[in-house]
Amino acid sequence: MVNKYTINKAFEKSFPFPIWKIEVDCAHNRMAIEYRDPETTIPHFSVLDFDGNIRDDEVTTKEKEWTLEAIQGEFLVLKRFGASSPIEAGICIIHYPTNRTIVTAMEYVLQEVYQGILLARHRSIPGGLVFQIDIATGQITQSKRNDYSYPVSHIHYPIAYTANLPAFIREIPFVDQVWLLPMDDVYIWAYHLAAANKYNLILSLSTKNELLDTKVVLENLNRLIPQPFFQVERYIFFLSNTKQEIITYLV
């Protein structure tokens, strides 16, 4: 019987500075990447689709306090963080195809991201008064609804597998631990192998009884990667050890 499950590289994308954050829009198969110049710490943002095509090459802010919170359709949602607090007043929505700022709301503290709507509180108004910000228009109104819905999300992360390993994994001389993520009727495994004084990160597919395919996805690592990948649909995303590359496989 022909094995229909294989591991194939979809794309590899490099960035000029280390990646700080990745946010995914599962409804439109797009991801936003925040990367920062180590010297200035100024954030830059790029948008890719799941085939590696660039939807926006670079959006840049002038202030280092802005960070990526979400991507929805053609819009990036940024929030500000403070020197003594992870959250500070300040919300910015950018239409990334035109690099146009939809709204910059410096008096509002972001509370929640829903589909098409942000919920926020005004920093000068005490109590439970909540405002909604329309992502597409930037319009701010008092929130009187309770029927908001969260964006579609199909993001999955592997877990460190601590139960009895199947024989075909147990016989592999992996280092430290094995990561597992079930997908449909197959299983995705990730583990490190020692290579001289460094490590290689390995991705394997299996049924309950046998290995189907194996690929070396990262080589010559100086240290073990604690969270090796995340999965959206049939795409497996890895971040290189330099944090300047995204490597994507299709299974």
pLDDT band at residue 94 under the 50/70/90 scheme: very high
Mean pLDDT of the chain: 92
Q: What is the pLDDT of residue 8?
A: 93
Work out the average pLDDT over 198-213: 95
Query: pLDDT tier at 1 (50, 70, 90 boundaries)?
Result: very low
Q: What is the rounded distance in angstroms from the CA atom of residue 123 to the CA atom of residue 102? A: 21
Instruction: Say if residue 132's pLDDT is above 90.
Output: yes
pLDDT at 3 over 60: no
Q: Which residue bears the tokens 């590289």?
A: 9
CA-based nearest residue to 120, from 134, 106, 130, 105: 130
pLDDT tens column, 150-189? 998 889 999 999 999 999 999 999 999 999 999 988 999 9
Contact 68, 76 (CB under 8 A): yes
Has residue 147 got a pLDDT over 70? Answer: yes
- What percent of the chain lies above the pLDDT cut of 70? 96
71: pLDDT strictly greater than 90: yes
pTM of the model: 0.90
Angle at 222 (CA atoms; ends 250, 241), nearest 5 degrees: 40
Residues 211 and 204 sit within 8 Å (Cβ to Cβ): yes
The yes-or-no verdict on residue 248 having pLDDT over 70 is yes
